[in-house]
Amino acid sequence: MKRKKIAIVFAAMSLMLMTGCGAQKEKLKADTPVEKEFSEVSVHDPSIIEGEDGSYYIFGSHLAVAKTEDLMNWTYVNQGVKNNNTVIPNVLKEMKEAFEWSQSNTFWAPDVIKLNDGSYKLYYCNCKGDSPLSCLGTAVSDSVEGPYSNEGIMLKSGMSASEKDEDGNLYQATTDPNVVDPVVFYDKEGKLWMIYGSYSGGIFVKEMDAESGMPLESGYGEKLLGGNHLRIEAPYVIYNEETGYYYMFLSFGGLDSDGGYNIRVCRSENPNGPYVDSMGQDMKDCKGPAGSAFSDATAEQYGTKLMGGYKFTWKEGEEGEDRKGYLSPGHNSCLYQEETGKYFIIYHTRFENSGETHEVRVHQMFFNEEGWPVIAPYRYTEESAEKLESKQLVGTYKYINHGRDISPDMKESEELVLNKNNTISGALEGTWELSGDYNITIKTDEAEYKGIALKQWDEDGKKYVMTFTALDSKSGVVIWGSGLNAID
């Protein structure tokens, strides 16, 4: 486990004592740091669940499991597929059938849910990797940490041309699912659903028995989107009672540092769809052209892109000159914290000039005036959205437009100024307005971005700054801003 130290900053000097460029430098930097810590973990494809004691657990690929009490400091519960671990103690023997079928020796992205009877159901999956030869099964425990006992395989995919699926049909990779990446959730009526899939034939949904957690019917279920091997995977669904929508988050692109992984969202009034993006497009139409494979040019037209690779570039006078941008953030889960009313998005990310090293990140998430989620630009440090005044937003920002592309390139920040007269200059031209407690609207000739403004901790710059995150629903594009100067 690696620890990173950050600072909480309190202003200690009056600007009246500063002069010239020295004053600007002092405004950019922290004055009196008080140290605070993050504890980092590497859990790929983190799926979050609350435990019995109020702690939160993330379950990821390769049987990596970690827990936290504050969503900032994580400790490992297990790392790696090996016997005598606490999650599945006799894993090599218990999961022999799954390993043999998938021709694999590891697990891919799992999900864990607490059923109505109080037991915990682990939905695991195994995949060969270079083909959709996969299986999806369940294990059960009385405790979220385990030990889990295998119940067996429920779905298989990737059969050869001579083998038939459970419905007696020959498996077709371009139309049938790769049975991995499950998310299982109760809807507002108490029904249980599983959504799953990666590349291949797309993302599918199946209704499950609300008590046992097992499928009600055989077969793969109903297709929600995808086909012809579009690079779309990692579905995760969360319901927002205030908006009345189910939000399905998806990862588009490839998970490697140069794969262009990015997080997108669509929503539906029903857990089993149809799901639409903010542009009004039915996600069922999101499928590759006949005879194609990995058509990113097709995929990137769909789904509201919330974030991709990015970097808030260093400016002279700031801390953190050696900062690293984020690459291929994705495969997220989400959390609604009832006691605080906060929403969070939990994902893994790779970093600039760091190979395939990855870590977990947690950001607070908000829903804008149009009922679409937007992600806070910086990782969570126990901040809350508070009532703001317009004068607090005036200033120079590092501006990022996440665009709609699937690209290995980071979006590097440009300079944007929110002027006192509510005009915008720099990277954009237009107007800005603060409404309600913290809702922000940024208008240009081409777009109208709606989101929220929030005071956040800039980890690299070691200072508190004003930030904003906003979405233009018609184009499905999100923009972020990070204030250049430190604030109290």
* Whether residues 291 and 400 fall in one domain: no
Boundary residue ending a domain (342, 375, 408): 375
Encode pLDDT of 176-185 as tens digits: 999 999 999 9
Task: List the domain range (segments joined by +) for residue 420.
Answer: 390-483
Domain holding 299: CATH number? 2.115.10.20
Boundary residue ending a domain (375, 407, 425): 375
Boundary residue ending a domain (375, 404, 429): 375
* pLDDT for the residue numbered 488: 86
* Whether residues 364 and 301 fall in one domain: yes
Domain holding 469: CATH number? 2.40.128.10
* pLDDT for the residue numbered 126: 98
* Whether residues 317 and 402 fall in one domain: no
* Residues of the chain where predicted confidence (pLDDT) is lower than 70: 1-36, 161-162, 164-167
Per the domain annotation, does 26 fall within a domain? no
* Whether residues 404 and 292 fall in one domain: no
Per the domain annotation, does 206 fall within a domain? yes
* Global pTM value: 0.93
Per the domain annotation, does 9 fall within a domain? no
Interatomic CA distance for residues 397 and 424, integer angstroms: 11
* Whether residues 366 and 475 fall in one domain: no
Residues marked as catalytic: 45, 233
* pLDDT for the residue numbered 28: 59
* Whether residues 371 and 405 fall in one domain: no
How many structural domains does the chain have?
2
* pLDDT for the residue numbered 249: 99
* Whether residues 346 and 400 fall in one domain: no
* Whether residues 268 and 366 fall in one domain: yes
